[in-house]
Amino acid sequence: MKNKREHTQTTHTTEHLFPNFAKIGTETTRCSLQQHTKSLSTVGSSETIRKTPESEPSWLIQQDHSLYTHAFDWSSVKHHLPQHIKTYSPEFLSWFVGFSEGDGSFIVSGNRLFFTITQKDPALLYRLRTHLGFGVVCSDTQHPEVKRLTVTHRDHIKTLIYLFNGNLLLKKTTQRFTEWVNHYNKLTGDSIRVISRWEGTREDSPNFTRSRRRMTERESACFRKDSLFWNTSWLAGFLEAEGCFSAIRKREALYFRLVLDQTNEVDILTAIRFLFRDRGSIWIRKQTPGKIHYRLEISNVDCLQDVIKYLEAHPLQTKKNLAFVRWKKLFGLVCKIREEKLNGTYAWSEKREKRLHRLFSELQKTSKNV
């Protein structure tokens, strides 16, 4: 394994390394949802695999969703930046946390601590190293096509601790991070207290209760107004690591989906589903001892248009953005054809038909490489 050189001593801003973030506004502060938000808790069924964790009540229960509305706090990390780094953009940080919750690893090995991100996109890892101001990018000895960003220096580990502390949304990453920080405290004699969003919550909290009726546009707007998912780039980073944009051909029709898989993290999936009008389906793909593998599928046309709207405001940063752009073009073309058929203005075009097949073929090729 041949290590690359450590990051050079230069000052950078987010806009130069991640130009898509330059168009994004400042982070939304916390507002209360207690007066507006309805909840949804149970997992929807699937026509393919009919397994649900519990029965689905027909009423709505009001609930406090502060786990997913309380604003990220970047004040601590500002005091622990590398000397040559002037600042971190809040939008970059929220994206980085979401991406790390999907692809990052907190590792303890003897008296050493590691933070790693593994990717097939080396350009992204070099950009991350440059923007963070530390880390080493190297190749996997067993899989040369895979690259890994590794952080081991204790000063840089400390920077990451203050970056992630209190800003993690998944239970499993919070648990691993807690063990990581506790080991750091033992090694260094520090007494950094882990801030967990889940501390003090009930085992079944947040209690999202799904309604059998459709969510209104007003209810959706109220939820999005305060949602961390909608107003920051956390979800964009998480989708880059865990999401998939899919188009399936069945006979003469094309079906579009956003797919997101998680293990033992049904809370985050139900919250994301609620963000998109509560019209997605969550089902259990597989169960193994101690693990339940869930899948969220969003296929409703209006909801997919909301997904596009979100990702246009919070762009993807990896190679997956190419798959998304092609998926969006194909989706837009199919929607236009459907609208023309409904309006009675549709006329078959060989040129458009060829474009449809080309976009579908390009999407399938791109999806295999991300």
pLDDT digits (tens, 9 = 90+) for 155-209: 999 999 999 999 999 999 999 999 999 999 999 999 999 999 887 665 544 444 4
Question: Are residues 177 and 282 both part of a single domain?
Answer: no
Report the domain count for the chain: 2
Evaluate whether residue 160 is within a structural domain.
Answer: yes
Question: Are residues 247 and 330 both part of a single domain?
Answer: yes
**CA torsion through residues 328, 329, 334, 340, sign:** positive
Evaluate whether residue 294 is within a structural domain.
Answer: yes
- What tokens were used for 11? 């000052």
pLDDT digits (tens, 9 = 90+) for 260-299: 999 999 989 988 988 888 888 999 999 999 899 999 999 9
Could you say which of 135, 168, 188 is where a domain stops? Answer: 188
Evaluate whether residue 170 is within a structural domain.
Answer: yes
Q: What confidence tier does 32 reach under pLDDT thresholds 50, 70, 90?
A: very low
Question: Are residues 156 and 291 both part of a single domain?
Answer: no
Task: Indicate the pTM of the whole model.
Answer: 0.80
What value does the CA radius of gyration of the chain take, rounded to a whole number of Å?
22
Contact 292, 171 (CB under 8 A): no
CA dist 306 → 87, 243, 270, 279 (Å): 31, 15, 16, 12
Could you say which of 188, 203, 230 is where a domain stops? Answer: 188
* Range of the structural domain that residue 19 is part of: 14-25+71-188
Evaluate whether residue 181 is within a structural domain.
Answer: yes
The structure tokens 């949804």 sit at: 40
Write the single-letter amino acid at 130: T
- What tokens were used for 75? 């004040």
Evaluate whether residue 312 is within a structural domain.
Answer: yes
What CATH number has the domain bearing residue 154? 3.10.28.10
Contacts of 48 (CB under 8 A, 6+ apart): 283
pLDDT of residue 366: 85
